[in-house]
Amino acid sequence: MNKTLSGRALLLALVAMTLAACGGKPTEPTRQDEVRVSSDHPVVGQRWNLLLVGTDERLSMPTTPHFVIAPDGRVTGHDGCNTINGKVQLDDGNRIQFRELATTKMGCPQLDDASRVTGMMETAYRYLIDHDRLVFFGPDQRVLGGWRKAN
C-alpha cells in the first residue's frame, strides 16, 4: 500500500509540475518568428499617400496620411494628425495584416478622420496594386480605401 501511495504522490507531483510549466511565462520569440517581408515586394519601400477612404471620400488633413513598409516588416507613417508606428505581415494571396499600430495621440481638428485612417489600416485584410495605387479590402471584401504611390 505504501508503494501505491508513493506512486500516486509521484504521479500527482509530475502532473502539478507539468501544469506549472504550461502556465508559466511565454517564451521570447525566436528569430524565426520575426516578421520579414521581401525588399523587392511592390508594397515595400514605397511611400503610400492616402487617396480615398472607402471608394470615393477624400480627406483634407493637416498632414497627408501616409505609410512606408520597411523590409523588416516595420511600418512608419502619419494618420493626418499623428505619427504611426507598427508592424505588417504580407502573405500569399495579397493578404496584409497591420499589427501593434501605435500613434502619438496628438490632438488636431480632424482627429476623427485620423482615427478612420488608422482604423482602415487595422481592418485591412487584402490589398490590390493597380499601377501606382494600392487598395485595401476588409475581410468581407469591401473596399476600405486607397493609397497612391508618392513620386
Domain range annotation of the chain: 36-149
Query: Per residue in 4-23, pLDDT tens?
Result: 444 444 333 333 333 333 34
In 3D, which of 32, 34, 38 has the Cα closest to residue 71?
Answer: 38
Instruction: Name residues whose C-beta falls within 8 Å of residue 12's C-beta, 6 or more positions apart in sequence.
Output: none
DSSP 142: -
Query: Per residue in 101-141, pLDDT tens?
Result: 998 877 788 888 999 999 999 999 999 999 999 999 999 99
- CATH code assigned to 36-149: 2.40.128.270
